[in-house]
Amino acid sequence: MGAHLKKAYKENKFKKYDLLDSFAVALTKEVRFINDDKHLRIRPKFVPEKDKAIATKDSYEVYLHNLTDDRKLANGFREVKILDGNIGYLKFNYFIHETQKTIDSYMLLLAKTDAIVVDLRTNGGGSPKTVQYLCSYFFKEPILLNTLYFRKDNFTEEFKVIEVNGKKRTDVPLLIITGARSFSGAEEFSYNMQTQKRATLVGEVTGGGANPGEILEVNPLLEIFIPTGTAINPITKTNWEGIGVIPEYKTVKDSAYNKTIELAAKAAEGYRNKIAAESKKLYLELQSVIDQQTQPLNETDSAKMDQQIATVVKKLTESDLFSEEDIATLSSDYSKTKPFIAESILKSNTELYPKSPMAFLKYGDLLEQNGKKDRAAAVLKKAVEIATEIKAPYLEGLKNRYEKILK
């Protein structure tokens, strides 16, 4: 590459470029003539006005410029919404480092969707750790996603599924929209999901850059990104360098979105039907357990019944179709015919939601209704303690309720 640049210089190929931007583009074109690695690029450095003569790395203006750029990028995310058919849609342009809280927030919004579409058509890549974190939302087991090998220091780094701060969506249908501008980290995310058979890819073949690296200074005005490593997928034992990630449904640019939403709508319907069937099965299981129960004669019988009911109620909540409120409503069906069953269901709700004042309030109300005022008072006291801890807006009302039962 060095020899080629010297030859191009002698041939006056760069003489016509008066602007730094166009000169950097021309340099990049010439070095890629020898090595067509799309990560390899030369670009102008940001230089503060007061430092145009003598640029310094530690200038506060450089720091402020970079900070402002990151804020404009909005942590890389551009759009998150829920489409008709309960399809979650997430679009972002960069896998910027240290954006876990943003990912957690957006994934919380999509926590109840029946399919998720991740739009990476304009995503240029970024931090492998951010790729790892978003990937981890869609897998349960700590499987190996990707390995990066760096020639410098002969260093290898593995990226496995990790714990996340939100609810994992390990079985929700996942679709990824790819484009010719999807590059580097965006390609890794797509390739990881494709090789693990966790997602369906729709769109164009991606850019084809699998070699991470670092930015080095050429001189006070120019910097160069030089690839120093390469990705190794644990399944294919290779990567997408120079080839790109090839989607299962190849489309032209203009039809990629519509095709993806069409596929997502069908997948969402199938997912809903699957969850509904599983939930009905669990509901019938609860009914079967309840039908077998009679009024407990002693504490041992009562504990055994509570355990049996709690096991099934837990399965119901894990099915995603029964929330804390749904379980409380379910208990009301038995508050008059089998009050001991209603108590057991609400007790299991407090165990499943130990930080919910309302779960304890409803359990306490039922205990009082059934004439068990001492137990009710203890449960309501717990509701007040939790509400105080989380600074619930209805704390004063709970306190009044607790004081009333004490009187």
SS (H, E, C) the chain: CHHHHHHHHHCCCCCCCCCHHHHHHHHHHHHHHHCCCCCCEEEECCCCHHHCCCCCCCCHHHHHHHHHHHHHCHHHEEEEEEECCCEEEEEECCECCCCHHHHHHHHHHCCCCCEEEEECCCCCCECHHHHHHHHHCCCCCCCEEEEEEECHHHEEEEEECCCCCCCCCCCCCEEEEECCCCCCHHHHHHHHHHHCCCCEEEECCCCCCCCCEEEEEEECCEEEEEECEEEECCCCCCCCCCCCCCCCEECCHHHHHHHHHHHHHHHHHHHHHHHHHHHHHHHHHHHHHHHCCCCCCCHHHHHHHHHHHHHHHHHHHHCCCCCHHHHHHHHHCCCCCCHHHHHHHHHHHHHHCCCCHHHHHHHHHHHHHCCCHHHHHHHHHHHHHHHHHHCCCCHHHHHHHHHHHHC
Question: Is residue 274 one of the residues assigned to a domain?
Answer: no
If asked whether residues 52 and 119 sit together in one domain, one would say: no
303 and 159 within one domain: no
Residues 51 and 81 in one domain: no
- Does residue 273 lie in a domain region? no
Look at the block and give the residue holding tokens 């020899």.
3
401 and 346 both lie in a single domain: yes
Amino acid at 391: K
Q: Is the pLDDT of residue 117 over 50?
A: yes
Say if 207 falls within a structural domain. yes
User: Do 54 and 87 reside in the same domain of the chain?
Assistant: no
User: Are 260 and 368 in the same domain?
Assistant: no
Percentage of the residues of the chain whose pLDDT score is greater than 90: 74
Q: Are residues 134 and 49 in the same domain?
A: no
In one letter, which amino acid is 112? Answer: K
- Whether 259 and 305 map to the same domain: the answer is no
Domain count, the chain: 3
Residue 370 forms part of a structural domain: yes
CATH for 329: 1.25.40.10
**Mean pLDDT value across residues 93-102:** 86
Q: Is residue 143 part of a domain?
A: yes
**Is there a domain that residue 306 lies in?**
yes
The verdict on 100 and 244 lying in the same domain is yes
Are residues 189 and 104 part of one domain?
A: yes
**Residue 152: pLDDT band by 50, 70, 90 thresholds?**
confident
On whether residue 213 sits in a domain, the answer given is yes
Give residue-wise pLDDT tens across range 105-116. Answer: 999 999 999 999
Q: Which residue range is the domain that position 19 belongs to?
A: 2-67
55 has pLDDT over 80: no
Mean pLDDT, rounded, of the chain: 91
Q: Do 242 and 311 sit in the same domain of this protein?
A: no
From 37, 67, 97, give the residue that closes a domain. 67
Are residues 370 and 329 located together in one domain of the fold?
yes
Q: Percent of the chain beyond pLDDT 70? A: 93
124: domain CATH number? 3.90.226.10
Task: List pLDDT tens digits, range 210-260.
Answer: 999 999 999 989 999 999 999 999 999 999 999 999 999 999 999 999 999
CA dist 112 and 288 (Å) reads 28
Neighbours of 286 (CB within 10 A): 20
Q: Would 285 be classed as within a structural domain?
A: no
- Domain boundary at 67, 97, 122, which? 67
